[in-house]
Structure 1
Amino acid sequence: MAVVIVLFLLASIVLGVLALIPRSPVRKWYAARQRPGRAAGLSILTWVAVLLVLVGLGTATSQQDSTNDAAETATPTAPAQPTTPTKTTPTKTTPSTASPTTSVAPTPAGVPDDVQQARVRRVVDGDTLEIAAVSAGPVLRSVAQVDVRLLEIDTPETKHPTEPRQCYGEEATARLAQLAPRGSTVWVQRDKEPRDKYGRYLLYLYNDEGVFVNLKLVSEGYARPTLYEPNDRHWQRISAAGDKARAARAGLWGACAHSDTREQEPQPAPQPAPQPAPQPEPEPEPDHGAVSYPYPPDLDCSQIPEQDFRVQEGDPHGFDGDGDGVGCES
């Protein structure tokens, strides 16, 4: 408001100066009035009235600002309370159907930096669940509910549309529900390939205690290590944990040793079929009408008693001089 008053005064001064100049537009305007003196008086009264209104408004605004400042000073602001993450169990958590809350819990120790916070909506089976991001981020671009397939692990099937439930599938599902209960806060991490052919997000999962869920399921024998290339970020750790669980016959390695879900034993490489022994080419049947002499040594017609005979194939001795097939012609 103070700025408006200052601008009004500056404009008034400019108009007043122009009114004193004989040939200025303002002076000509007043001179063209029927009663120049009355017009000038009305202008002055109008100017004074506007100035008084502006001053009054400025004073009221200043008083209101002073009152607001005093109220803010008198009312102390309560310090913000730190948010403490709490683990939620399936029996005590009531899932919410509303959009995920935007409150951000502190990241537990041991969880990588490149993660995004989310909430568990439902556990589908031992390696699949539904989550929703707390807020949009680098892993999940919206807060919509999405399907997640845990990377580098595979648990026995319990929801396959055409196959029966496999050995240790129920136990794996129950263990995932313990590690990531419905409604609990989790942190997800991506790898090179973000989704599979079914549109599910391929992620690593950390729970609200900082437990690496993918690794935990493998190390306890609830899942087998399974590489989904090119996603191999934690493959060395998960693969090594699977070897230890198998050696200790933990979980499914012991319970499902004789079931259809046991890991296929390596089959010996097929041996190549034996090649048939090469058969010698049959010797040409002798032509009893031809004269044949072994070669070497080389012979000529003067060294043999026969004449006018059919030479052997190839005629190695050159008995057939004219090439008509008859050797040593008389």
Structure 2
Amino acid sequence: MKHMKTISIAALLSGMIIPATNQISALPLLQNDTPTPFSFETWRAGQQANEPDFHVQSIDANTLVIRQSLRDTFEAPFMYLIFGMDKAVLIDTGVKSTSLRRVIDREIDIWLSANQKSSIELIVMHSHGHGDHVGNDYAFKSRPNTIVVGHKPEEVAKFFSIADWPTDLASLELGGRSITVIPTPGHHPSHVMVHDPMNDILFSGDMIYPGKLYFQCAKADTYMQSLNRIIEYAEKEDIKWLLGGHIELPSNSNTAFPFNQKSRENEHQLALPVDILNRIRIALNDMSDELVVKEFQDFTLFPHPATPQGKQPPNWCNE
């Protein structure tokens, strides 16, 4: 989700209508018809005016999901903290806040205590470079034993040693587990997904999540090429679920919450089954050369002009 441009697009629409050992254990394999694949409690979504800035839940003792409060920002982005025995990775830093660093330090301290370790290197990376995913980078640049990866394509490629962007992949060893970084430009030039093979999850950033899937009209081919690569990869690697950067849909409707709504009820679940990939591809193919904003079950395709001012969806790619 683009922090600045998303606001202008959304405004236009609103006017229209800890393990105790060194062994890290994996989750059991999940079936795509599992109605609640992860045992998350209901995510805080602005229902209480004084709710904390961040809500932390666990996939397992070594994989945490962090959501920024809707009261703090309408983007309410999700971040992911992944522990190996030698390194930890934080995917995204959300919208600028004063408290994310404290939250991450606290969770790392808890993990270190449980694993009887004194320190661990932290790598801060990003699904992409939009402002609602890099806003707290500043808080980690002076943190000891921490690397903050840049968010331009060439910076991501250099850090992860991706020789041929965007067709090559990169594996990062964390100690007892590894992750794979997969370039997926389209939503943003530096967009990547991250595969956690221990849990059969793709952390899918803003390319795929239950909400509006933004890409520029002129970047539709780039988005589709990334989608095709990720479908091939997911089939080969037996991916089960995708966890993205936001929730924007209710559980009972295909129409997104208003962008300026400060409290939500009955949000869509965060996890999407892997068949969402083929459903998005079919939806894009069916549009042929006439790209339009259109709602589908679990997602909305949202192609948009590079400069949307003065134009109106859903047909603004064709004006």
Q: Which TM-score tier does this pair reach, normalised by the shorter chain?
A: under 0.3
TM-score (norm 2): 0.25
Larger strand percent: 2
Higher relative contact order (CA 8 A, sep 6+): 2
Larger helix percent: 1
Q: State the structure with more CA Rg.
A: 1
TM-score (norm 1): 0.24
